[in-house]
Structure 1
């Protein structure tokens, strides 16, 4: 295979994963492969050339999603402002519940496609616990807030993704704001925490 053909093949694969991710997120993992091919502007044969089965395509999409989550969590753990880091992690989680419904059903529910990522999910949960514990030490969360409290907040947010899409898109941000008000102290704290209005909206979803 020539370099150009390899490059074209890699571009096609990336395009398929990108289109499939959006399609699965919006319409669920049962969307026909032919429909994904149509949305990507390709033939079904091209899809099967890159992904011999539906399961292969689903696995590629979920792997890409999990990799993004890992990158975000590493960035949060590296952030010296523990309040901003925890707030950003919760906001991104909420955004994904609202907009990546099909993927979340696979990763967080009982769908067989999510089973391969169970270990990574546990690692991600442990990293989130470290974010909460660090914020507790820094006084960035209210004194009575525990790791389990923060996890319960995530479960409450995730529960709302079962609503019809328009309702979920409206309710999840509202609930998230209420939960953040209950979890976080008003004043930012922690080592390296900047002050002033320019920092007030830091930590928005990546």
Structure 2
């Protein structure tokens, strides 16, 4: 089915819709590897499409980044809805946070979209509008059941995501974030579970690019 029309815009033809989807998939792959320094031309080449085709769908790279961001928020919202429906509020909260951290840890471009300048404030506001109504009741249920510290706030969750994503950025270790997320989650629980071993750490080699 063709993409629904926006205000004043007709629906895309089937071939145009497929090309747009190819560009979106290519953008995720290119931004994942190269970050937002990649150009719209780079994305078009990666998708196997002409540059003119890319510019017919997206006037500039910023429009493409916006579309990729909305696609990512759709995934985060789906995860939050699944968590909200979980009868175990702690499991729902922890698993949802892990899925979002995994998404960001594996995708350099999405980290730059979330943390970058420019439209960062508008993007954070969109996240709040779509995700906060799902997460707030989940946090409240976890507190009511006595599994979550009473002083944990909703804004603590994006800060945890920020800290966890820094692990990947600073060490280059793709899975090391899991260890530190576990530590942070234990810090949020009223009764931390110290029986399950932490995910492995790594031998210190210094931090930052070229370390």
Shorter-normalised TM-score: what interval? 0.7 to 0.9
Aligned residues: 179
Structure-2 separation of matches of 1:147 and 1:17: 34
Aligned-residue RMSD, C-alpha: 2.6
Map 1:93-132 → 2, pairs under 5 A: 93-107=100-114, 109-123=115-129, 124-125=131-132, 127-132=134-139
From 174, 178, 181, the equivalent of 1:173 is: 178
Distance 1:31 1:99, change over 3 A: same
Query: Comparing both structures, which one devotes a greater share of its residues to helix?
Result: 1
1:27 aligned residue: 34
Q: Tell me, yes or no, if structure 1 residue 163 matches structure 2 residue 150.
A: no
Listed one character per residue, the Cα deviations across residues 62-92 of structure 1 (whole Å, up to 9, x for unaligned) are: 1111122122212211222212211111101
TM-score (norm 1): 0.74
Gaps of 5+ in 2: 1-11, 194-211
2:200 aligned residue: none
Larger RCO of the pair (alpha carbons < 8 Å, separation 6+) = 1
| Contact 1:37–1:43 (CA under 8 A) maintained in structure 2 | yes
- Give runs of ≥4 in structure 1 deviating > 6 Å: none
Structure-2 separation of matches of 1:35 and 1:174: 35
Distance 1:150 1:57, change over 3 A: closer
From 177, 188, 197, the equivalent of 1:183 is: 188
Secondary structure at 2:87's aligned position in 1?
coil
Deviation at 1:60, TM superposition (A): 0.9
TM-score (norm 2): 0.73
